[in-house]
Amino acid sequence: MGNIVEQIQGVPLNHYIIFCSIIFAIGVTGVLIRRNVIIIMMSIELMLNSVNLLLAAFSAYRGDPSGQVFVFFVMALAAAEVAVGLAIIIMVYRNTKSLDIESLSKLRW
């Protein structure tokens, strides 16, 4: 454990923050500009995983385990969310035969 913490600390904290912010921004952009529902879901996972990485980095730097415990909460709940989300996507696909978010525009005004 000590070894891993030292390895994590080998990289300056700012680099982690910038790196994770970039991944997070890629995820946000993906959600906003992609049209395929599966890709949007992948982008959301990217956002959550950048959070996980940042939490682990902060946790290692502070020598405080609660950040790493939080990562497990995030993972578990993200898995639950994805399970429900995929079910919803399958349900939509059965009715529309399409995964394009543009095909879902029945509800307007």
Closer by beta carbon to another protein, 5 or else 80: 80
The secondary element (H helix, E strand) that includes residue 23 is helix 13-33
DSSP, residue by residue, 79-97: HHHHHHHHHHHHHHHHHHS
* Cβ atoms of residues 36 and 99 within 8 Å: yes
Closer by beta carbon to another protein, 3 or else 109: 109
Answer for which of 81, 97, 98, 102 binds another protein (CB under 8 A) is 81
Least distance in Å: CB of 12 to another protein?
A: 14
Residue type, 14: N
Kindly identify the residues of this chain, within the stretch 34-63, that bind another protein according to CB under 8 A.
37, 40-41, 44, 47-48, 50-51, 54-55, 58, 62
Structure tokens, 91: 């349900």
Q: Say how far apart CA 68 and CA 52 lie, in whole Å.
A: 8
Residue type, 15: H
Contact residues: another protein, CB under 8 A:
17, 24, 27-28, 31, 37, 40-41, 44, 47-48, 50-51, 54-55, 58, 62, 64, 66-67, 69-70, 73-74, 77, 80-81, 84-85, 87-89, 91-92, 95-96, 101, 104, 106-109
